[in-house]
Amino acid sequence: MLASYAVRVEDSRGRRYPEPPHPYRNPFQRDRDRVIHARAFRRLENKTQVFTRRYSDHFRTRLTHTIEVAQISRTIAEALKLNVDLVEALALVHDLGHPPFGHAGERTLDQLMREHGEFFDHNLQALRTVEDFELRYANFRGLNLTFEVREGIIKHSRDYSEAERPELAEYFLDQRPPLEAQLIDLTDEIAYSTADLDDGYEAKLLRLPQVRERVTVFARYYGEAEMRYPDAPEKLKFNEALKRVLNRFVTDLIENTKRRVQQAGVGSLDELRRYPERLAGFSPEVAGERREAKNFLYEALYNCKPLQPEKRLAENVVTEVFEHLMAHPEALPQSYREKAEDESLARVVCDYIAGMTDHYAVDLRKKLAVETAK
């Protein structure tokens, strides 16, 4: 049984290009499967989350992070009686627009685009990817995903106005997205807040005393783990504490979202869409704990000195490839040269780079340097 405000697949607004129903998969399940089989999804395996493979093959990539977000999202959706198939599809597609080299690559690409009067937004890039760049079907370009998945791609983490982005007007920009989409940004934060503590500790860039001092909720659960497992190795006590942090964040998001929906008196999807604010959210106490962990990660991990060479490499590779292709558009693949006839060269170069894996971008930089030197 779905909640009264959940998205029902039979009420879907359908696909841009109508297709006959599948005999044993509903439209959202088909969307999930199309995302999983997409080339852009496979490329996430070789896109940096936080650490490049210089550190270890054990750390999260953009792909494994996406899988963890999907797992957390399904659990929460089931507890809230939301449409689990839609939630899973949205979780799997949410990072499809990320460029190589994680946030360093994204910031650099955005800066370069702004020099040409444009910008880079990974959510809008994900929409471009599933609408245009994936070529799997003879009848249409893209994956032809349902309206609800396409809407969730662009609206799961922020609201756009029609004045700001008139090309997105079809996606009800004056309304809130369904809870299925609202959850994704929050489950994304739960996933990376806990996973990055884990990977940072494994990389020996975060030390246990430092984490206990700066992340209050972790310190509390680590103390409990010490009392319960006094003879366990430090890493296992760390794991015990971290899984309790994850459980606390997930449980709070479920319970507080239920409470907010009830307090708002929302009884239908239409009422939820027209409510003046998003209703998925953490309690003030847990929101503070999550913010504390996030701030700590930015200060102690994302901006730490040992990772600066990785960031500089990302910035240099993206910048040099972008500038070379802007100066030498003939070096673009034929399909991108053709797109440059209808769109700005900067946007086409941006699209090309955004789709690259870390390895491909590094190799292309070397190839272009060699060709320039000839």
Phi and psi angles of residue 61, each rounded to the nearest 5 degrees, phi first: -105, 180
The per-residue pLDDT for range 197-248, each reduced to its tens digit, is 999 999 999 999 999 999 999 999 999 999 999 999 999 999 999 999 999 9
Domains in the chain: boundaries? 9-308
Q: What whole-number distance in Å separates Cα of residue 41 and Cα of residue 97?
A: 10
Contact 125, 132 (CB under 8 A): no
Q: What whole-number distance in Å separates Cα of residue 341 and Cα of residue 329?
A: 11
Q: What whole-number distance in Å separates Cα of residue 193 and Cα of residue 75?
A: 17
How many C-beta atoms surround the C-beta of residue 161 within 10 A? 11
* pLDDT tens series, the chain, 374 aa: 999 999 999 999 999 999 999 999 999 999 999 999 999 999 999 998 887 766 667 789 999 999 999 999 999 999 999 999 999 999 999 999 999 998 999 999 999 999 999 999 999 999 999 999 999 999 999 999 999 999 999 999 999 999 999 999 999 999 999 999 999 999 999 999 999 999 999 999 999 999 999 999 999 999 999 999 999 999 999 999 999 999 999 999 999 999 999 999 999 999 999 999 999 999 999 999 999 999 999 999 999 999 999 899 999 999 999 999 999 999 999 999 999 999 999 999 999 999 999 999 999 999 998 777 66
The per-residue pLDDT for range 50-81, each reduced to its tens digit, is 877 666 677 899 999 999 999 999 999 999 99
Q: What whole-number distance in Å separates Cα of residue 7 and Cα of residue 2?
A: 8
Q: What whole-number distance in Å separates Cα of residue 60 and Cα of residue 264?
A: 38
Asked if the 9-308 domain carries CATH number 1.10.3210.10, the reply is yes
What pLDDT is stored for residue 51 in this prediction? Answer: 79
What pLDDT is stored for residue 369 in this prediction? Answer: 84
HEC string for the chain? CCCCCCCCHHHCCCECCCCCCCCCCCHHHHHHHHHHCCHHHHHHHHCECCCCCCCCCCCCEHHHHHHHHHHHHHHHHHHCCCCHHHHHHHHHHCCCCCCCCHHHHHHHHHHHHHCCCCCCCHHHHHHHHHHHHCCCCCCCCCCCCEHHHHHHHHHCCCCCCCCCCHHHHHHCCCCCCCHHHHHHHHHHHHHHHHHHHHHHHHCCCCCHHHHHHHCHHHHHHHHHHHHHCCCCCHHHHHHHHHHHHHHHHHHHHHHHHHHHHHHHCCCCHHHHHHCCCCCCCCCHHHHHHHHHHHHHHHHHHHCCHHHHHHHHHHHHHHHHHHHHHHHCHHHCCHHHHHHCCCCCHHHHHHHHHHCCCHHHHHHHHHHHHHHHHC
Residue 154: exposure state from Cβ atoms within 10 A (0-12, 13-18, ≥19): buried
Dmax over Cα atoms in the chain, in whole Å? 69
How many C-beta atoms surround the C-beta of residue 119 within 10 A? 12
Q: What is the pTM of this model?
A: 0.95
Tell the residue number behind the tokens 């999983």, with chain if given.
Answer: 36
Q: What whole-number distance in Å separates Cα of residue 31 and Cα of residue 26?
A: 9
The pair of structure tokens assigned to 289 is: 């704990």
